Structures are given as structure tokens and as C-alpha cells.
Amino acid sequence: MSRVKLPKGRPGRRRARRKRMLIECNGELTETGYFKHLLGELGISSSLVMVDNREKGRDPVTLVRGAAKRAEADRREAKRESYDPYAYVWAVTDSDYFENLAQAQKEARGKGVQLAITNPCFEVWLIDHVKECPDSCSDTAACKKAAVQMDLVVSPDPKRESTGKKKLVNYGKIEGLLDSAMTNAATHNTDGKRHIRTNNPENKEAYAVWTDIPAVIDQLRGLQSKQAPTPPSPCTSG
């Protein structure tokens, strides 16, 4: 009598999961801290959104590659454990002094990563919470100075009060103002700037001030509206 061969490994049934997101930042404090705080404000579980800054201080191309690497590791783990991998993968960067934004955008498209550029720096988005970020903030120094004057960023060390050291978001100044930020960003993110941002991101002077962060927020709010309890996402090595 022949023996019936049993299937090896885990059952083929896939565990139902809510959509998850990876946000990879190259900012050491400002962006990472902002998104982690925002998850709490929106009531989104950290099991749905991973905010990572292992590429802190790196250029946009390296940032995109790092995000793609972690997304691929998650896909492999998801296949082994029968759950859904990251639905959204973001690489968040300033334009600042970087010169490889076009290459980063090309690689992002090829690797399934969404690239969020704020031009010239993330402080544009912070200012938008209070008022429409003005054209006078079209260079990094002026934008950071304006954010400091508006008390939107503070130093992690009270003894180090120079403008360049003020990189922690003053959440008390922006709490509850997300809708205002979205409205203000939409005002300065004109169609003309959008065309340049999409087709020639290296031409930074022509589309400052600008931020792609509203697109990230839209997806986060989509997660917020559909959130349900899920098992914690697995840890993957970098």
C-alpha cells in the first residue's frame, strides 16, 4: 500500500493583515521624531508603521537603496511567515545640498519605493502647520532660521542653543494642526512646481518651496481609518 505524502512546511493559508508602511528617513532627529509623534497623534499602532533612520545623514540614493533593502527583507520574512509585506515604502529626504535627486527618483521607481522630497528642508512642512511656508524660505539657512524664530524646533541639549543644533520638533506648536499643514502645503505646491519636481528634481531653485509629505500623510490616514488589531511586525536586520 502506498503512503500518502503530507505537504511540508507551514499551511498555505495567508494570515490576513492590515496594510503596513515603512518610512525610511535620512534625518537623524527631526523627521524621525516627527513621524513617530504623528503616529501617536493619529492613533496608529507602531505594528503598522515602521519609522527607521538607519540611513541618517546619507544621500538620497543611499536612502532609497536602504529602504528597498529593508522592504525586500520584509518580503522574504512575509513569505516565510505567510503574511502581507509592506504595502507602502517611503524614503523621506530634504533636497538641501544633495545633487543626486534624479538618480534617487529613478532608482525609487525601479525598486517600488516612493520618494518624498521636501525642498529645501523638512522645516518647510513644520512651518506649514502654522502658516503657508513663504518663498523667502527657499534656501536651507533661511528656512531653518524661520523655524527657529517660530519656536517650531528646539535643541535636544539646552546648553547647545545655536540654530544648527535645534533639530527636535516642538510638538506643542504643531499639535492638532495637521489639516492646516495640508492646506498650506497645497497652496505653495503649485502645478507648475509639481511639473518641475516630477520631471527635473535637480532643478531645486525652480520648485522651492515644496514638500511631498502630504502624500505620506494621505497614506497614513488611510491606515488610520482601517486600523484593526494586528500581531506585531517582525524585526528584520539591516
Nearest CA to 108 out of 118, 97, 93, 123 is that of 93
Residue 144 has pLDDT above 80, yes or no: yes
Residue 217 has pLDDT above 90, yes or no: yes
Q: Which residues contact 104 (CB under 8 A, 6 or more apart)?
A: 59, 60, 61, 63, 64, 91, 93, 115
Residue 9 has pLDDT above 50, yes or no: no
Using pLDDT thresholds of 50, 70 and 90, give the confidence band for residue 167.
confident
Average pLDDT, the chain: 88
What integer pLDDT is reported at residue 155 of this predicted model?
Answer: 83
3-state secondary structure of 170: coil
| Four-CA torsion 159, 96, 123, 205, nearest 10 degrees | 140
Q: Which residues contact 103 (CB under 8 A, 6 or more apart)?
A: 60, 61
Q: Pull the grid cell for residue 33.
A: 521624531
Residue 22 has pLDDT above 50, yes or no: yes
Q: List C-alpha distances in Å: 199 to 91, 103, 107, 168, 214.
A: 18, 12, 14, 32, 19
Nearest CA to 36 out of 54, 26, 49, 19 is that of 49
Q: List C-alpha distances in Å: 223 to 127, 153, 193.
A: 25, 27, 28
Using pLDDT thresholds of 50, 70 and 90, give the confidence band for residue 42.
very high
Question: How far does CA 233 lie from the centroid of its chain?
Answer: 18
